[in-house]
With several copies, the nearest count.
Chain A
Amino acid sequence: MSLNDAPVMELRVPALAEYVSVVRLAVLGLCGRLPLSYNEVEDLRLAVGEACASSVQRAEKAGRAASRITVTGELEEGRIVLTICDDVPIPPEAGPSGSLDIDPDFDDESFRISLMQLLVDEVGIGEAAGGGQVVRLVKNCEQGRDAAG
């Protein structure tokens, strides 16, 4: 099947908070192509939302309103692989961000990363070719393993 040659979904939206829901809905649609349970789908949607929120927050801080998030989705045997890539330079030291400002000590970026790790089977975070961030999320279908596969 030629589907494995290229991602089955490529989506680009502005790195703005109001577009994260577009990504979440598209991912919901993509999840319909695999035998994922409701909770597995919601875990993945939450994880992808966190990855996008990370892009949005860095774009805001860098004052880069024209930044974009590119999400690709691949369906492999019994699993779904998403990459969330942005074009926002990663700040040299990614310490506590304090964006909540009621609680400036709290590092919401690390909280986000732990949350992603709790929600999906694999999380990879790296630097994109263009200098932005790439997050790679893998979710296995537990149902797929038991049943048709």
Chain B
Amino acid sequence: MELGIHTEKRGDNIAVVSLSGEVDVYSSPRVRSAMLEQLDGGSRYLVMDLSKVDYLDSSGLGILVAGLKRSRENGGEVFLVNPKPRIQHVLEVTGLHNVFTILKSVDEAVARAERN
């Protein structure tokens, strides 16, 4: 249930951040730090693997959106990967599925980032 965060660089300007468990008002500051660390470290593209996320609240959504803005300012992008149906539902209810590029796999997202 606790939040797990795993980060992996894929080339110079791409980072894969895999989250697991619950992203809520308590744990989301750690997601923010992980994203900022990559963005500040030169990764313009963030691939957020959500496949193991069970809970995502507004503080988590806010951090994803803020990360998206920051990465786009640098000519990059934030890709969301493989959210569970429940999380997809939350993204749709908030309209954020239109704001983010949501992809099926990490490899697909990394390939997209490399093509850009």
Chain A contact residues, CB within 8 Å of chain B: 17-18, 20-21, 24, 32, 38-39, 42, 45-46, 49-50, 52-53, 56-57, 100, 102-103, 106, 108, 111-112, 114-115, 118-119
Contact = CB atoms under 8 A, between A and B. Distances in A.
Contacts, number: 71
A102 B66 contact: yes
A22 B69 CA distance: 32
A48 B39 CA distance: 32
12 contacts: A17-B25, A17-B26, A21-B1, A50-B57, A52-B25, A53-B25, A100-B32, A100-B63, A102-B69, A111-B61, A118-B93, A119-B93
B94 A53 contact: no
Interface of B: 1-2, 22, 24-26, 32, 36, 55, 57-59, 61-63, 65-67, 69-70, 86, 89-90, 93-94
Q: Which secondary structure dominates chain A's binding surface?
A: helix
A100 B66 contact: yes
Q: Which secondary structure dominates chain B's binding surface?
A: helix
Given A20-B24, A111-B58, A103 B69 contact: yes
A56 B29 CA distance: 14
A131 B70 CA distance: 38
A39 B94 CA distance: 15
Contacts of B62: 100, 103, 106, 108, 111
Contacts of B93: 115, 118-119
A21 B66 contact: no
B2 A20 contact: no
B95 to A, nearest CB: 9
Contacts of B86: 38-39, 42
A111 B95 CA distance: 12
Contact of A108 (B2, B58, B90, B94): B58
A79 B93 CA distance: 21
A111 B55 CA distance: 17
B94 A103 contact: no
Contacts of B61: 111
Given A32-B1, A115-B93, A118-B93, A53 B66 contact: no
